């Protein structure tokens, strides 16, 4: 058992066998939830977990540290199947917004019939930042806030139009 505290862990890419070696954002979430150290904490919605895990690995070391607060924010985000499907649908729609040329890939991910696949796909779309100004990164962080808020507000049913709109935090 490691004596490393969550307060001194620097977020790193990939999977780690113990906090002594570092942690990805979801491994840190497992520590905060009091669960066994791992990158799939039970207290985190699988869609949000997949997004954060995939996005964590796509970022450079400096931007990855921006995910630190999401380790705590995502703990307790596990919701019922309706909310998880809602989040997965929102991920698919959002990915199509930020990477419009990826419709073929979207169908491929959707055919896997795993809710978490939508989170992975959205994170891959978010990681594209061709001019490196940080716009995609800023939008990705706002999107994670939106996903977490979906369950926290008790949202269970949204209209199809609401599922395809831009994250609330980014509306002008």
Task: Give the model confidence (pLDDT) of 36-57 as tens digits.
Answer: 988 889 999 999 999 999 999 8
- Per DSSP, the three-state class of 163 is helix
Question: Average pLDDT of 121-148?
Answer: 79
pTM of structure: 0.77
Cβ contact 42:78 at 8 Å: yes
Percentage above 70 pLDDT, the chain:
73
The CA-based angle 129-104-14, given to 5 degrees, is 50
Min mean pLDDT across 26-30, 43-47, 84-88, 105-109 is at 105-109
19-25-28-30 Cα dihedral, nearest 10 degrees: -120
Q: What is the 3-state secondary structure (H, E, C) of 77-134?
A: CCCCHHHHHHHHHHHHHHHHHHCHHHHHHHHHHHCCCCHHHHHHHHHHHHCCCCCCCC
Q: For the chain, which residues make up each domain, given as ranges?
A: 19-167
């Amino acid at each position: 058992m490691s004596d490393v505290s969550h307060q001194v862990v620097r977020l790193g890419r990939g999977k780690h066998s113990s906090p002594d070696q570092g942690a990805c954002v979801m491994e840190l979430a497992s520590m905060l939830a009091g669960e066994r150290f791992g990158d799939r904490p039970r207290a985190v919605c699988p869609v949000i977990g997949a997004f954060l895990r995939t996005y964590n690995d796509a970022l450079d070391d400096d931007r990855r540290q921006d995910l630190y607060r999401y380790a705590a924010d995502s703990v307790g985000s596990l919701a019922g199947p309706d909310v998880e499907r809602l989040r997965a649908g929102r991920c698919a729609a959002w990915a199509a917004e930020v990477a419009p040329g990826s419709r073929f890939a979207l169908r491929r991910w959707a055919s896997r019939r795993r809710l978490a696949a939508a989170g992975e796909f959205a994170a891959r779309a978010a990681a594209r930042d061709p001019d490196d100004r940080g716009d995609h990164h800023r939008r990705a962080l706002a999107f994670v806030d939106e996903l977490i808020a979906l369950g926290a507000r008790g949202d269970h049913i949204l209209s199809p139009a609401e599922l395809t709109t831009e994250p609330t935090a980014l509306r002008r």
